[in-house]
Amino acid sequence: MLGPDDHYIIISADTHAGGSHAQYREFLEEKYVADFDAWREKYKNPFKDLKDTDLRIRNWDSDRRDADQFADGVVAEVIYPNTVPPFFPSFVLFAQPPKPEEYEHRLAGVRAHNRWMVDYVSQAPERRAGIGQIFINNVDDAIADAIWCKENGLRGGILIGAVPPTADWIKPLYHPDYDRLWAVCADMEIPVNAHSGTGSPAYQPAPAMPLVHFLEIPFYSQRPLVNLILGGVFERFPKLKFALTEAGCAWIPDLLATMDNLLAGMRSNKVGEMRFDGEIVPPRSATEYFHQNCFVGVSQPTPADITASQGIVGWDRVAWGSDYPHEEGTHPFTREHLRQVVGHLEPEMIQQLLAGNAAKHYGFDLAALQPYADKYGPTVAEIAQPLTSLPEGANQALERSAAQLAKSA
C-alpha cells in the first residue's frame, strides 16, 4: 500500500523520438547513401516550427531528453517515431503509405530509423521501450522486420499505419492476407501499435484542407481498432496484443456499443434489408474482443478519458502518456496535470495508470525503475494536492482539462 511519502513510478506510454537526417545517414544501407544525399539536398521541411533548434534536438539528444523527463517526474517511456526518415515526403505519422515505385527507398528509410532506434534505446534500455516501424505493402517484409525488431530489443513492438481509403495499392487491415503477420506477432509476443495521425486520406490542396484534416484525424485514427475487430483478427488471434495511442479513450464506449449492436444485428439478420453470411460475422461482441486484445495509451488524458477508463474501457486497459516532446503534451507540467485529472483517485489506481499497466504490456521492470522514481518522481502527497489554479505559462494539456472541468462543474 502506498503512503504519502512514497514516490510514483511514471512511465509515459506515448513519447516520440527520431534521428536527424545526418544521423539517419549513418544507419542507411550503403547502397542507398548516394540516393539519400540527392533526396536530402532537395528536401524542404514543411513544419517551420521545427526549424527551431531547441524543439528539434529533443527528438534525438539523449542527455537533453533525460534532463527534461526527470525534471517532469517521468522515469521511463514508450517511444514512437518522430521526425522525417530518409525518403519520406513529410512527418512520419502524416506521410501516406509508399506507392509501389516508392517502396524500396521508403523501406530502406524505416529500416534506418529502426537501427537508429535500437541504438537510442540502448543508452537507457531499462527505461526506454522503442517501437519499430514496418510497412504492410509486402507481408513477407513486414514479418521479417517485426522479427528483426523483436530480436534487436525493440520491446515496444511495431507500429502499423492505418491504411488510408485513398491508398488502394495496399489491402486494408481487415484483410486475411495479414494473418501470417498477426500470427508471428502473437506467437512472439510482439505488441502491435497504432498511433493517431496515420490513415488520413490524401487530401486535395485547398485553404481549408488543414482544418478538415485535423477535424477528421480522430475518425481515421480509430479505423485500425474497427478493422481488426470487425475483420475477426482478434477472434483468430486471441493472444495478439494491440495498442492504440494518443487518440484518447472517451469515445471508446460509444464505438464499442455501436459495433456490438451492428454485430448483434448481423447475426440475427436485422440490419434493415441487408442479409449477411454468418461466417463473416465474429461470434463475440466488440467489447469482449477489446478487453481480450486491446490496450490504450491515453496521452494528456482529460477528465472524460479518466471517467471512461473507470467504466467500460477498463482501468487495466489504459496507460498514461505525456506525448513528449510535442507541445500539446504535458511537459513541463506533468505534476500539475496529474494533480488536475487523477489526484482525487486512490494511490494504487494512480500507480496502475502511471506505470503498472504499461509495465505489463511493454515489459518494464518496475523494481529497476523504483530507484529513479525515488529520486525524480512525485510523491503520493504531492499528486493528492488539488490544482486550484493554472501555473503561469500553462500548456495546452492543462488548458484543455481545465476547460472540460469548468464545463462540467
Q: DSSP letters along 3-64, please? A: -TTPBPP-EEEEEEE---HHHHHHHS-GGGHHHHHHHHHH---S-GGGGSHHHHHTTT-HHH
3-state secondary structure (DSSP) of residue 105: helix
Judge whether 384 lies within some domain: yes
Beta carbons of 78 and 131 less than 8 angstroms apart = yes
Q: Does residue 1 belong to any structural domain of this protein?
A: no
| Averaged pLDDT score across all residues of the chain | 95
Q: Which three cell numbers stand for residue 101?
A: 515505385
Whether 86 contacts 24, CB under 8 Å = yes
Contacts of 301 (CB under 8 A, 6+ apart): 248, 249, 309, 318, 320, 341, 342
Tell me the pTM.
Answer: 0.95
**SS3 of residue 323 by DSSP:** coil
Secondary structure letter of residue 356 according to DSSP = I
| Alpha-carbon distances, residue 204 vs 166, 168, 346 (angstroms) | 11, 16, 49
362: containing domain = 11-408
Structure-block grid coordinates of residue 98: 509508399
| For residues 280-303, average pLDDT | 96
**Max intra-chain CA distance, the chain:** 64
Q: Is residue 3 situated within a structural domain?
A: no
Q: Is residue 5 part of a domain?
A: no
Residue 408 has what pLDDT?
85
* Cα Rg, the chain, nearest whole Å: 21
Residue 199 to residues 37, 108, 141, 213, 317, Cα–Cα distance (Å): 29, 21, 20, 11, 23
Scored b (16 or more CB within 10 A) or e, 202-229 reads eeeeeeeeeeeeeeebeebbbbbbbbbb
Residues 72 and 358: their CA atoms lie apart, in Å, by 18
The answer to the question of residue 2 being in a domain is: no
pLDDT digits (tens, 9 = 90+) for 240-252: 999 999 999 999 9
**Does residue 4 fall inside a structural domain?**
no
| Residue 6 belongs to a domain | no
pLDDT digits (tens, 9 = 90+) for 234-288: 999 999 999 999 999 999 999 999 999 999 988 887 777 777 766 789 999 999 9
CA atoms of 111 and 335, how far apart (whole Å): 36
| 25 part of a folded domain | yes
**Contact present, 357 and 317 (Cβ < 8 Å):** yes
* Domain containing residue 241: CATH number: 3.20.20.140
pLDDT band at 53 (very low <50, low <70, confident <90, very high): low
- What pLDDT does 268 receive? 82
User: Percent of the chain beyond pLDDT 90?
Assistant: 88
**Structural domains of the chain, count:** 1
